[in-house]
Chains A and B, each alone.
Chain A
Amino acid sequence: MKVFKLYRVGFLVLLLVLLVAVSVWSLLSGDINISWKQLPYVLQHADSMEYSVLMNLRVPRLLLAFAVGASLSLSGVILQGIYRNPLVEPFTLGISGGASLGVALMIVLGTAFSLGGLLLPVAGFAGAFITIFLVYVLGMGKSAANINRMLLTGVMISFVCSSLLMFLLSISTAEDMHNIIFWTMGSLEQPDGRLIRLMLFGSIGVFLLTHLFAHALNALRLGEDEAIHLGINVKLTIRVLFVLASLLTGLCVSIAGIIGFVGLVIPHVMRKAVGSDYRILLSASFLGGGLFLIVCDVLARTLIAPNELPVGVLTGITGGVLFIILLSRKGSAWKK
């Protein structure tokens, strides 16, 4: 316990407080402004319009923003841990490419809006899943995790997928094209409550599961061989974590489209803030990712109101700028 420095726990508490503050901000802002003095009144009057906006639109959206941001960030930190490489993020492995291709195929085939709107997420997930499977089978080879090979396989599959996507775009109608592009940009508007619940419980479930591997991730900071010498089942650890991170990313992509950069930037920021002890880094990344996407979502909704920015655009810009600032500062080398 002595090792657990107090400020690290303090940082988690700070993240939680910020998360609550940002959530309230998110709930109150939008087309219909609700001031926070009104909040108790609104909550007591279930028949008011404000109440229905709050409960039917903003709360689900808030939960989805949190779950997606947290999941992407968590997937990022896990993949960086098992690959021992700071540049890996869920989308480097080609998962987004596969998902986009799946969705585009459904839209072009014109079957997109059957199955009660569930078909697009299912297609996205299937695309992501097939990509993961390919990267896993082609990239793993005989050894536990041939890191470079797996990364290269992911990047190549990404390229193939985006080329196929271009092809689909070139043969599709203007309306299909619009739908595909809109989906690719990522959106947190998800009318289906079941999907939101799935995302939320999925993210929390994986978050809890990864904590069984926190010590293994710590040992992996010394390299695969040393981790084995410390009695860690490295093969099993890498495989389970890879599959968990990929499934979680697949889920995010299929429900909210492509929201880039969260998985790269947030873990990096959190490493700087709390260090690389995965017992705390996992929680910090999870909370930080959720926090970041909630903020980006509020900004996306309010910056050019009444219009809405695609949230993926905002995460890309803010995340990218943040990353460049961090990198250009002194002593910014990645800490293993």
Chain B
Amino acid sequence: MEEIKKPLLQIDALCGGYKSFNLQQIGFALDKGDFAGIIGPNGSGKSTLVKMLLGDLKRSSGKMLLEGKELSAMPVRQKAQTIAVVTQHIEDTSMSVLEYVLLGRLPYRELFQFFEKREDVAKAEKYMELTGILKYRDQPLSSLSGGERQLAAMARALTQEPKLLLLDEPTSQLDICHQVQVLDLVRELNCELGLTVLMIIHDLNLASSYCNKLLLLNGGKLHTQGAPEEVLQFSIIEEVYKTVVVTRPNPVTGRPTVFLVPRHQIDKLKKERK
């Protein structure tokens, strides 16, 4: 019998959320090595979905399977060895960058282990090198800029050596240089380490450039999912975002690119047609 390849993460009919807002019947699957983006307007449920995956928020029904095992039944420690997250808000702390990154080894700590092992420090340094923050090793995290802190958080998440990396808007506070730097890094990890990535991202064009799979949320429902070419069609985007857009392939990469059309330009066009 042929062995059926199980997806890394499988979400089935996931429901739940807050009193005034609910996710409804979310279902998707990620294979190992996927680089998936969650897109959608503000308040569409992107963060709620990630919180539910992390267990910060309880679902009311549905299934969340990681390698066939139910996520919510997994002990926190084991979960931290499988899923790592970089949240938007990174706490302002006086601990040094190395101490901060080393916290990523906590899920692997033994009960009576008091000091980190040599290999833990080696791993932390390896990922700090990879994210380019090794030079700040002994500086307090609070002295770093927003972009550098984002990279430190990434290094910490990688130090957890997870199978699935969750990113909550990793580029929201960065200029384009750092945006590309961060996402290039994530892509490199995705390709070379086979790390599966699921990220919330607002910028549709960045999503299109980097992701192989997009999940478009709208009002707590999964509106469309698939390759960027399938999801980033002007009719779908206009319907969900209630904005007039034009999509064209990027002249270099060929990936679909979304162009905004401001209201006054539309009015102008309408007038000319008359």
Which residues of A line the B interface, CB within 8 A? 1-4, 211-212, 214-215, 218-219, 221-223, 225-226, 228-233, 275-277, 279, 335-336
Additional pairs, 18, CB under 8 Å, beyond known A231-B107, A276-B93: A1-B115, A3-B116, A4-B115, A212-B111, A218-B95, A218-B103, A221-B91, A225-B54, A228-B55, A228-B56, A228-B76, A229-B80, A229-B83, A230-B160, A233-B76, A276-B95, A279-B114, A335-B93
- Identify the closest chain B residue to A222 (Cβ): B91
| B183 at the A interface (CB under 8 A) | no
Q: How far is the CB of A60 from chain B (nearest CB, A)?
A: 33
Interface: B81 (CB within 8 A): yes
Contacts of B103 in A (CB 8 A): 218-219, 222, 230
Q: Evaluate contact between A277 and B99: CB separation under 8 angstroms.
A: yes
Cβ-neighbour of A230 out of B80, B115, B121 (below 8 A): B80
In the bound complex, do residue B94 and residue A275 qualify as a contact, i.e. CB atoms below 8 Å apart? Answer: yes
Complex: how many Å from CA A215 to CA B114? Answer: 8
Cα distance A212–B109 in the bound complex, in angstroms: 11
A3 to B109, CA, bound (A): 16
For the complex, what is the distance from the CA of A215 to the CA of B49, rounded to whole Å?
29
Residue of A nearest to B92 (CB): A336
Tell me the residues in window 78-113 of chain B with beta carbons closer than 8 Å to chain A beta carbons.
78-81, 83-85, 87, 91-96, 98-99, 102-104, 106-107, 109, 111-112
Q: Which chain B residues lie closer than 8 Å to A3 at the CB level? A: 96, 98-99, 102, 116, 121
Complex Cα spacing A314 to B111, Å: 41
Tell me the bound Cα distance from A2 to B111 in angstroms.
Answer: 21
B77 close to A (CB within 8 Å): yes
Contact among A223, A225, A231, A336 with B80 in the assembled complex (CB-CB below 8 Å): A231
> Residue B95 contacts which of A212, A229, A277 (CB distance < 8 angstroms)?
A277
**Pick the contact of B106 from A215, A221, A335 — CB < 8 Å?**
A215
Docked CA distance A189–B187 (Å): 68
**Known contacts A214-B114, A231-B76: A221-B84 contact under CB 8 Å:** no
* Residues of chain A within 8 A of B96, CB atoms compared: 3
Q: How far does the Cβ of A97 sit from chain B's closest Cβ, in whole Å?
A: 33
Q: Is B91 a contact of A219 with CB atoms below 8 Å?
A: no
Q: Is the CB of A231 within 8 A of B79?
A: yes
Check if A276 sits within 8 Å of B114, measured CB to CB: no
Complex CA gap A96/B111 in Å reads: 34
Least distance between B48 CB and chain A CB atoms (Å): 14
Q: Could you give 20 example pairs across A and B, Cβ below 8 Å?
A: A2-B121, A3-B96, A3-B121, A215-B109, A223-B91, A225-B54, A228-B55, A229-B80, A229-B84, A230-B106, A230-B107, A230-B160, A275-B95, A276-B93, A276-B95, A277-B95, A277-B99, A279-B114, A336-B91, A336-B94
Smallest Cβ-Cβ distance to B116: which chain A residue? A3
What's the A-B contact tally at a CB cutoff of 8 Å? Answer: 77
- Chain B interface helix/strand/loop/mixed: mixed
CB A6 to nearest CB in B, in angstroms, measures 13
CB distance from B16 to the nearest CB of A (A): 17
- Give CA–CA (A221, B112) in the complex, Å: 21
Centre residue among B76, B80, B92, B104 by max chain A CB count within 10 A = B76
List the B residue with the shortest CB-CB distance to A271.
Answer: B94
Q: Report the 6 A-B pairs with minimum CB-CB distance, sorted nearest first.
A: A231-B80, A231-B107, A335-B94, A231-B77, A222-B91, A230-B106
Asked if B114 and A211 make an inter-chain contact with CB atoms under 8 angstroms apart, the answer reads: yes
Report the nearest B residue to A235, measured CB to CB: B76
Residues facing A in B183-210 (CB within 8 A) are none
Which residue from chain A places its CB closest to the CB of B81 in the assembled complex? A231
Q: Cβ of A226 and Cβ of B91 under 8 Å apart?
A: yes
**Beta-carbon contacts under 8 Å, B53-79 to A:** 54-56, 76-79
* Given A1-B115, A215-B106, A218-B103, A229-B85 contact (CB < 8 Å): yes
Q: Smallest CB-CB separation from B77: which chain A residue?
A: A231
A233 to B106, CA, bound (A): 12
Chain A residues with CB below 8 A from B77, complex form: 231, 233
How near does chain B come to A239, taking the closest CB pair, in angstroms? 15
Cα–Cα distance between A4 and B99 once the two chains are bound (Å): 10
Q: Which residues of A contact B85 (CB under 8 A)?
A: 229
Which residues of B have CB within 8 Å of A277?
95, 99
What is the bound-complex CA distance between A334 and B95, given in angstroms?
A: 12
Q: How far is the CB of A246 from chain B (nearest CB, A)?
A: 24
CA–CA, A11 to B109, complex, Å? 26
Q: Is the CB of B76 within 8 A of A232?
A: yes
A232 to B111, CA, bound (A): 12
Query: Whole-angstrom distance between the alpha carbons of A1 and B84 in the complex?
Result: 25
What is the bound-complex CA distance between A226 and B88, given in angstroms?
11
Point out the residues of chain A lying under 8 angstroms from B79, CB to CB.
231
Residues of B within 8 A of A231 (CB): 76-81, 106-107
Contacts of A215 in B (CB 8 A): 106, 109
Which residues of the partner chain B approach A226 to less than 8 Å between Cβ atoms? 87, 91
**CB-based nearest A residue for B80:** A231
Residue from the set A218, A226, A230 with the largest chain B CB neighbour count within 10 Å: A230
